[in-house]
Amino acid sequence: MESIFFLVVAAVAVISSILVVTCKNPINSALSLVMTFFCLATFYVMLDAPFMAATQVIVYAGAIMVLIIFVIMLLNVRVETVKRGTHAVIAGSAIGLFILFQTVWFLMKGSMTGKVGDMTKEQIVSVGHVELIGKALFTDFLLPFEVTSVLLLAAIVGAVILAKKKI
């Protein structure tokens, strides 16, 4: 049951991510990307990580993609005339094949150690997914968390200064 469901969602994910790069209309590309994010969220749910799934949809599909679509709408980019750059296609395929080879190579080379980390499935079920993430974020990873928030604040202030002529 679960594997059939996985295969269906995976097929949708692959097809929609191919559509992202092949669609000629930028809005349709953006919509396909939203669909891909959705499929990723479904995978997170299947991996017992509902919090990740919810944030995936809220942050990526709900906020970032809306901004991208906003920009496309304002620039009024209609159907893009795609130039068939053969050099780019060849270079892109070469890099793609290289990365595929690299991934498969390292996967084949490594071996399963069978070592289990701290976060087992039982622990996630008993303590709770959100609780575990919260605890890790505010104790073990407090410094990176704070640094990220300061970075984001700096970005917001920077955007306001760049956009506003008179402050």
Partner 1 sequence: MDTLILGLPVAYYIAMVAKVLVAFVFVLLTVAYATYAERKIIGHMQVRLGPMRTGWHGLLQPIADGVKLFFKEEIIPSQASKFAFLIAPLVALIPAFISFAVIPFGDSVTIGGYTVPLQIAAYYDQAGKQVFDVNVGVLYILAMASLGVYGIVLAGWASNSKYSLLGGLRSAAQMISYELAAGLAIISVFMLSESLSLHKIVADQAGGAWYAFKQPLAFVIFFICSLAEINRTPFDLPEAETELVSGFCTEYSSMKYAMFFMAEYANMITVCAVTTTLFLGGWHGPAFLPGWFWFIAKVYFLIFLCMWIRATYPRYRYDQLMRLGWKVFLPLTLVNVVATGLWVMFISK
Residue 43 is which amino acid? F
- Nearer to partner 1 by Cβ, of 12 and 54: the residue is 54
Q: Indicate the residue type of 92.
A: G
Binding mask 76-95 for partner 1 (x = CB under 8 A): --------------------
Query: Binding of partner 1 at residue 101 (CB under 8 A)?
Result: no
Q: Where on the phi/psi map is residue 10: left (φ > 0), alpha (ψ -120 to 50), or beta?
A: alpha
Burial class (CB in 10 A: 0-12, 13-18, 19+), 83: exposed
Question: Per rule CB under 8 A, is residue 63 in the interface with partner 1?
Answer: yes
Does 123 engage in binding with partner 1 (CB under 8 A)?
Answer: no
Q: 142-163 vs 129-138: helix axis angle to the nearest 10?
A: 80
Q: Binders of partner 1: how many residues, by CB under 8 A?
A: 24
Q: Which stretch binds partner 1 (CB under 8 A): 6-14, 90-98, 124-132, 145-153?
A: 124-132
Token digits of residue 166: 């008179």
Binding of partner 1 at residue 66 (CB under 8 A)? yes
Nearest distance from C-beta of residue 91 to partner 1, angstroms = 31
33 binds partner 1 (CB under 8 A): no
Q: 3-state secondary structure string, 18-55?
A: HHHHHCCCHHHHHHHHHHHHHHHHHHHHHCCCHHHHHH
Question: What are the residues whose beta carbons fall under 8 Å from the beta carbon of 32, sequence distance 6 or more?
Answer: 16, 17, 19, 20, 23
Give the nearest distance from C-beta 66 to partner 1 in angstroms.
6
Q: Is 4 in the site for partner 1 (CB under 8 A)?
A: no
* Chain residues that interact with partner 1, rule: CB under 8 A: 1, 25, 27-28, 31, 34, 50-51, 53-55, 57-58, 61-63, 66, 69-70, 73-74, 128-130
